[in-house]
Structure 1
Amino acid sequence: MSERIFITGIGTGVGKTIAAACITEALQADYWKPIQSGLAEGTDTETVSSLLSGNLSVCHPEAWRLQEPASPHLAARMEGVTIDISRIITLAGQYQPATRALVIEGAGGLLVPVNDHEFTVDLIRQLKARVIIVAQNYLGSINHALLTARVLQQERIPVAGWVFGGDWHSNEEEVVQWSGYPKIGRIPLTNHIDKAFVKAQAQLLTAPLHSLLA
Structure 2
Amino acid sequence: MTKRIFVTATNTNIGKTYTTKLLLKEFASRGLKVGVIKPIETGVVDYPLDGEELLECVKELNPKLWSLEVEDIVPITYELAASPFVASNNTALDLKKIISKIEELEASCDIIIIEGAGGLYVPIDENNMMIDLIAKLEAVALLVTHCSIGCINDTLLSKEVLEQRNIPHVTAFNCRDDDTSFSQISEPYFSRTGFEVLKVGDDIEKICDVLYNL
TM-score bin, normalised by smaller chain: 0.7 to 0.9
Alpha-carbon distance between aligned partners in 1 of 2:94 and 2:191, rounded to the nearest angstrom: 34
Unpaired runs of at least 5, structure 1:
188-200
TM-score with structure 1 setting the length? 0.78
CA RMSD of aligned residues (A): 2.8
When residues 144 and 67 of structure 1 are mapped into structure 2, their CA distance, relative to the original with a 3 A threshold, is: same
| Runs of 4+ with deviation above 6 angstroms | none
Equivalent residues, number? 196
Question: 1:88-119 deviations in whole A, cap 9, x for unaligned?
Answer: 23432332256521000000000101111110
Alpha-carbon distance between aligned partners in 2 of 1:13 and 1:4, rounded to the nearest angstrom: 22
Q: Does 1:147 align with 2:157?
A: yes
Q: Does 1:21 align with 2:27?
A: no
Q: How does 1:112-131 map to 2 (within 5 A)?
A: 112-131=122-141
Alpha-carbon distance between aligned partners in 1 of 2:125 and 2:93, rounded to the nearest angstrom: 6
Which piece of structure 1 moves more, 25-34 or 35-44?
35-44
Post-superposition offset of 1:184: 4.1
When residues 99 and 93 of structure 1 are mapped into structure 2, their CA distance, relative to the original with a 3 A threshold, is: closer
Unpaired runs of at least 5, structure 2:
29-33
Which piece of structure 1 moves more, 86-95 or 139-148?
86-95
Alpha-carbon distance between aligned partners in 1 of 2:143 and 2:50, rounded to the nearest angstrom: 17
User: What is the aligned partner in structure 2 of residue 61 from structure 1?
Assistant: 73
**% identical aligned pairs:** 27
User: What is the aligned partner in structure 1 of residue 118 from structure 2?
Assistant: 108
User: What is the aligned partner in structure 2 of residue 89 from structure 1?
Assistant: 99
Contact 1:110 1:148 in 2 (8 A): yes
Of residues 44, 52, 57, the one that matches 2:50 is: 44
Post-superposition offset of 1:150: 0.4
Secondary structure at 1:124's aligned position in 2? helix
TM-score with structure 2 setting the length? 0.78
Q: Does 1:32 align with 2:37?
A: yes
Contact 2:141 2:168 in 1 (8 A): yes
